[in-house]
Amino acid sequence: MAFSNEQLERYSRHIILKEIGVKGQKKLLNSSVLIIGAGGLGAPAALYLAAAGVGKIGIVDADNVDLSNLQRQVIHTTDDIGKPKVESAAETMKAINPDVEVVTYKDYVSSYNIMELIKDYDFIIDGTDNFPAKFLINDACVMAKKPFSHAGIIRFKGQLMTVVPGEGPCYRCVFKSPPPPDAVPTCKQAGVIGAMGGVIGSLQAMEAIKYITGVGELLVGQLLTYDALKMEFHKIKLPPRGCGCAVCSKDPTITKLIDYAQAACEFKK
């Protein structure tokens, strides 16, 4: 695969990095990432992955753009209000980088479709905003042996971790099961500072890029937390993989995907 002159210029800041270079950029162009949720987390992740030259990016979301999204979902504009989020996102990503193939799925993920959705992608980004969806994504990725980035944001705080099945703990190793309905407020109920999505979503894109290119250390076995009001990041070491985990232990008790609620895939609203 030879780069065109336009590609050499477009990716020049990557190519001069000794950690990336021509080889790493080719890996990006030959890779694929699926983003589940085109909201506060998925929007910046999608923008940076498209700009980086990830060859194929899938984006899953069933919602349409509304005015309240625009405070943080930077992939959409005022003119996109009423348009499907996946359509709006795809237009922006293609405008940034026509090299990228964008595949859109205007749908909720569920136990019926998630395995089909993730099967052709190298890395998955969880940009959802509810616990049933997060547990579903975790379980599906563990069963399919797909690496993924988990993240969550609320108010002025965020967190993320990377799961590589077989190499480190999964989301369910840390959080055993979804909390009772309404026990934890959503961003819609509690609020979120818009730039928080940019910080954490960009870090998710960074984890995807590092996984694809094989550079640096991933957040495997670690939970990174961020408090914007104190401007503090902390890394928390997680328990070993499979210690009593219902899905990734040697003798899992969960062997089929579970839809914990019909709202299993409401994305960031």
In this predicted model, what pLDDT tens digit does every residue of 34-70 receive, in sequence order?
999 999 999 999 999 999 999 999 999 999 999 999 9
Instruction: Please state the domain extents for the chain.
Output: 31-237
With 60 as the cut, is the pLDDT of residue 262 above it? no
What's this model's pTM, rounded to 2 decimal places? 0.94
Q: Above 70 in pLDDT, residue 208?
A: yes
Complete DSSP assignment for 8-77: HHHTHHHHTSTTTHHHHHHHHHT-EEEEE--STTHHHHHHHHHHHT-SEEEEE---B--GGGGGT-TT--
Architecture of domain 31-237: 3-Layer(aba) Sandwich (3.40)
One-letter amino acid of 127: G
Average pLDDT over residues 218-240: 96
Cβ–Cβ < 8 Å for 173, 254: no
Per-residue pLDDT band at 261 (split at 50, 70, 90): low
Residues 110-161 have pLDDT tens digits of: 999 999 999 999 999 999 989 999 999 999 999 999 999 999 999 999 999 9
* Cβ-contact 203, 160 below 8 angstroms: yes
Cβ-based neighbour number of residue 209 at 10 Å: 24
**Predicted pLDDT of residue 177:** 86
Phi, psi for residue 237 in degrees, rounded to 5:
-70, 130
146: Cα within 13 Å, side-chain hemisphere: 27
Separation between Cα atoms, residue 177 and residue 166, nearest integer Å: 20
What's the chain's length in residues? 269
Q: What are phi and psi of 266, to 5 degrees?
A: -75, 125
